[in-house]
Amino acid sequence: MGETETYAITGPDGDEESFELPAGLVDVLSQQGEKPTRVVSDVVVQAMAQQAHVIAHHSEGEVPDDIEEINDTAAELFEERFGQSLEDALGHSH
């Protein structure tokens, strides 16, 4: 196995989870001068918003109201962070 870099996420209740990424991967994904932690957190926000979208719009059956609200909030946070709507980023809307 190649070299790795360790990152950590801390939850609202103080629990922390560390994880390894291949060394250099974050650099490949970053723009010049961008901090590595910003790159990793951008990917987390993007992935979580996409997962909320999938659960709310691509699941079979009726989606509970709380899931709709979570999805809406995730989409709003995505747009605040990246300056474009999640629908535009995904290339489709519902």
Q: Where are the domains of the chain?
A: 4-90
Tens digit of each residue's pLDDT (9 = 90 or more) over 33-87: 999 999 999 999 999 999 999 999 888 888 888 999 999 999 999 999 999 999 9
The pLDDT of residue 31 is 92
pTM recorded for the entire structure: 0.87
For 70, other C-beta atoms within 10 Å of its C-beta total: 16
CB atoms within 10 A of CB 60: 5
Q: Confidence band (pLDDT; 50, 70, 90) for 94?
A: confident
